[in-house]
Chains A and B, each alone.
Chain A
Amino acid sequence: MTPETLSRLQAAIAAKHPVALCTRLADGAQLLLPGDAADAGLSDAAAAALLADKPTQHEGWFIHPHNPALRLIIVGAVHAAQAMLPMASALGFATTVIDPRRAFATEERLPGVTISHDWPDDAMAALRPDTRSAIVTLTHDPKIDDPALDAALRSPAFYIGALGSKRTHAKRVDRLREMGHDDAAIGRIRAPIGLDIKALTAPEIGLSIMAEIIATRRGAGLAQRG
């Protein structure tokens, strides 16, 4: 790999531009797509690899997609959020915490984390969650969680989870119905949140949620609920 190719690839990653590094295995020649000139077949294969987020080969070329990091949006700067954040970073997620309660969402409690003190409806409008986003609500407070879930359900986020017991969630479902969401939409919400590993402590809850996010992302059977 030439230093020039490396710096262009790293610039694309830093700018969050999806790009595929294409390597001709016979001689090591490399292209970055989209961007460089290539025949239609290779360009199409690179576009497909980026969409699938999966490396592939095409006529002697190895196509290695580099998509922007998955995003994790946590609503509620609570103890479980603090425990989850280092795990999420280690798993490659770019993290944002939304909490309008400034006493909770402090730099001291969440070092190095992107914090939004906006109300969740405004914050979510600015963040525009996409198919590579996971959204987790942790406050238990309908004033904060509900507008976040409302926005989450109107987004194509691949994971939506809400902390709270079955009873809490039943009441939440009623409120979301009143906001105009049908059962299919509401069924996207993982509640009670997380894989059932009998988590008790904040780090255990964080682990169960992160494990469920990964299981959902990878299409694991563990992520299916009866």
Chain B
Amino acid sequence: MSEDILATASAWRDAGESVAIATVVETWGSSPRPAGSRFAVSSAGRMAGSVSGGCIEGAVAEAAAATMANGTPQLLDFGISDESAWEVGLACGGKLKVFVEKLG
């Protein structure tokens, strides 16, 4: 496979980094990436894959730092109508949920 995010994440972990994996679990409207899309981020700031067209990866990476530190998974909500903790809108007007978990 050309886009094996799990293999990439696994290699980072083997190299001694903390790694979190984010997965799109639900979408509404015109979200650019479908459920199942993965994005991996490491404690050194490496990133692979995507959960959007690039609009929310930064916020996901920020949230992932907490999951890497304490091991607790998170379910993040993103959407243009979402006024809560995440001040990140999707220009496309879509909404999505992203599950973030620590690898290992």
| Residues of chain B lying within 8 A (CB to CB) of residue A54 | 35
Secondary structure call for the A interface: mixed
- Asked if A1 and B21 make an inter-chain contact with CB atoms under 8 angstroms apart, the answer reads yes
- Asked if B99 and A55 make an inter-chain contact with CB atoms under 8 angstroms apart, the answer reads no
Q: Which residue of A lies closest to B26 (CB)?
A: A57
Which stretch from A20-28, A144-152, A184-192, A193-201 is at the chain B interface? A20-28
User: B64-96: which have CB < 8 Å to A?
Assistant: 73, 75
A6, CB-defined interface residue at 8 Å: yes
In the assembled complex, how far is the CB of residue B97 from the closest CB belonging to chain A, in whole angstroms? 8
Q: How large is the interface on A (under 10, 10 to 19, 20 to 34, 35 or more residues)?
A: 20 to 34
B56, CB-defined interface residue at 8 Å: no
For the complex, what is the distance from the CA of A2 to the CA of B34, rounded to whole Å?
A: 24
A89, CB-defined interface residue at 8 Å: yes
A64, CB-defined interface residue at 8 Å: yes
| Residues of chain B lying within 8 A (CB to CB) of residue A28 | 73, 99, 101
Say whether, besides A57-B25, A92-B1, A25 and B6 are in contact (CB < 8 Å): no
Partner of A62 from the list B2, B10, B25 (CB cut-off 8 Å) is B25
Interface string of A69-113 (1 = CB under 8 A from B): 100000000000000000001111000000000000000000000
| Residues of chain A lying within 8 A (CB to CB) of residue B3 | 92
| Residues of chain B lying within 8 A (CB to CB) of residue A27 | 73
Partner of B104 from the list A2, A57, A69, A89 (CB cut-off 8 Å) is A2
User: A105-163: which have CB < 8 Å to B?
Assistant: none
User: B1-55: which have CB < 8 Å to A?
Assistant: 1-3, 6-7, 10, 13, 21, 23, 25-26, 34-36
Footprint of A on B, CB under 8 Å? 1-3, 6-7, 10, 13, 21, 23, 25-26, 34-36, 73, 75, 99, 101-104
Q: 5 shortest A-B CB distances, which residue pairs? A: A28-B73, A55-B35, A55-B36, A62-B25, A90-B2
Apart from A57-B25, A91-B2, 19 more pairs, CB < 8 Å? A1-B101, A2-B104, A3-B13, A6-B6, A6-B103, A10-B6, A23-B23, A23-B101, A25-B25, A25-B99, A28-B101, A55-B34, A55-B35, A56-B35, A57-B26, A62-B23, A62-B25, A64-B35, A65-B36
18 residue pairs A–B, Cβ–Cβ below 8 Å:
A1-B104, A3-B104, A6-B6, A9-B6, A10-B7, A23-B25, A23-B99, A28-B99, A28-B101, A54-B35, A55-B35, A57-B25, A57-B26, A62-B99, A69-B1, A89-B2, A90-B2, A92-B1
